Amino acid sequence: MMQDLDAKVMCDNLHSLVTAKAHKEAHLPEKRRINRSYAMTAFRSVLSAILLGHDIGNRLRNVLDLIARRTFVHRPGKSKSRDRHRPKPHKPTGYKAC
């Protein structure tokens, strides 16, 4: 069980580093943000190859470029409250894969 937690923490940390690097290199305008959900999906597709050491530089450049192209406009102060009495459409999951 501890290995699962360690793997999840490592995956989250790598995802955060890759997203931050993509944001820094993209020189995005002030109101643009990286889509972190898409970044996780894109990074997950190359994570195993990177950990195995297969063409690390090229794969990282490609995934950074891909992540930097998926952005959204951040609108400060715009938030939506959610209905706390409405049930979720799916059963809760106790374990989420990296």
**pLDDT by residue (tens digit) across 24-78?**
999 888 889 999 999 999 998 898 898 899 899 999 999 999 999 999 998 888 8
pLDDT of residue 65: 93
Q: Using one digit for the tens of pLDDT, what is the confidence trace for 67-85?
A: 999 999 988 888 877 777 8
What is the structure's pLDDT at 96?
62
**Strand spans (E) along 1-98:** 32-34, 71-73
Q: 44 is in which domain, residue-wise?
A: 2-73
- Structural domain contains residue 8: yes
For residue 66, what pLDDT is reported? 92
Number of domains in the chain: 1
Q: In this predicted structure, what is the pLDDT of residue 76?
A: 83
In a domain, 65, yes or no: yes
Structural domain includes residue 97: no
pTM above threshold 0.85: no
Asked if the structure places residue 61 within a domain, the reply is yes
* Alpha-carbon span 11 to 20, nearest angstrom: 14
Tell me if 27 is assigned to some domain: yes
CA distances from 98 to 48, 57, 71, 72, 95 (A): 11, 22, 22, 23, 9
Q: 64 in a domain, yes or no?
A: yes
42 domain-assigned: yes
Residue 54 counted as domain residue? yes
Q: Which residue has the higher pLDDT, 96 or 12?
A: 12
| pLDDT score for 71 | 92
78: buried, middle or exposed (CB in 10 Å: 19+, 13-18, 0-12)?
A: exposed
